[in-house]
Amino acid sequence: MGSLKNRDPQLEDPEGVVVKGIIYGGRDSDTWPPVFESFDWVHGVITIASCLESETTATTLGKGGVRKFNLMANLDFLSLPIGKYIQNHLDFVKDLEKPPLIFGVNYFLKGQNSNYLTGMQYKRVWLKWMELRVHNDIEAIKTPIGFLPRYQDLKKLFQEVLNKDYPEEDYRKQFTLRIPENIAKIERIVEIYKTKVTDSPDIFFKLLQEQKQWLEKIKVQYGDYVAPTLF
């Protein structure tokens, strides 16, 4: 870690460091946007961290492009039941005045032509957006899956961070809410927890059901694919 020039000088402080944001992400070609923020700690633990999936690649054994459930990107290392693990996360912040924000990221979103919609360097912009959100420096768009970036904020960051123009059409493609895919994801995850997890917290199914209902309502109002500017 010593080779990282932008590391926090207190990184190795034995008293610990303040954690203001936690990021979860997987390889996802068609559902999650490049970056978004949960409404609060519980919402993030349930609808982002506990719903994490990642698609297999050519470097893995078996068929590529297959979604694999991977709770908090940590499923292979759990030493206790999944439900208990989730509950521990929910309980962890009960005495914290200001829990860390939880973000979801997806660097592998594709368009209709199967091309990736974001470049390798774009994650630098997404990280700067998260930093601004952590410090409450900018507002965001509230949607059924969480808070999305506003176009004007990303346009400014692309210029500042990458010295690059950011067309509104790119923003629309990257952050349009893909309702059928999000609903299908909820249904997949609920099935996993109902059939393979015996001790899921009650709040788990409640929040996912609420999110699904909100998505279905938006679908009736606007259609299958909804630009963030409509919220």
Percent of the chain's residues with pLDDT above 90: 78
Alpha-carbon gap, residue 89 to 83, rounded angstroms = 10
CA distance 208 to 193: 11
Domain 21-230 has CATH 1.10.3080.10: no
Would the pLDDT of 4 be above 60?
A: yes
pLDDT of res. 2: 59
pLDDT of residue 58 exceeding 60: no
User: pLDDT tens digits, residue range 112-142?
Assistant: 888 999 999 999 999 999 999 999 999 999 9
Find the mean pLDDT for residues 67-89: 91
Neighbouring C-beta atoms of residue 110, cutoff 10 Å: 13
Q: How many CB atoms lie within 10 A of CB 141?
A: 17
Distance between CA atoms of residues 123 and 106, nearest Å = 9
Three-state SS for the chain is CCCCCCCCCCCCCCCCCCCCEEEEECCCCCCCCCEEECCCHHHHHHHCHHHCEEECCCCCCCCCCCEEECHHHCHHHCCCCHHHHHHHHHHHCCCCCCCCEEEEECCCCECCCCCECCCCCHHHHHHHHHHHHHCCCCCCEEECCEEECCHHHHHHHHHHHHCCCCCHHHHHHHHCEEHHHHHHHHHHHHHHHHHHCCCCCHHHHHHHHHHHHHHHHHHHHHCCEECHHHC
pLDDT band at 204 (very low <50, low <70, confident <90, very high): very high
Domain boundaries, the chain: 21-230
Q: Average pLDDT of 162-167?
A: 98
Reported as a pLDDT band with limits 50, 70 and 90, residue 25 is very high
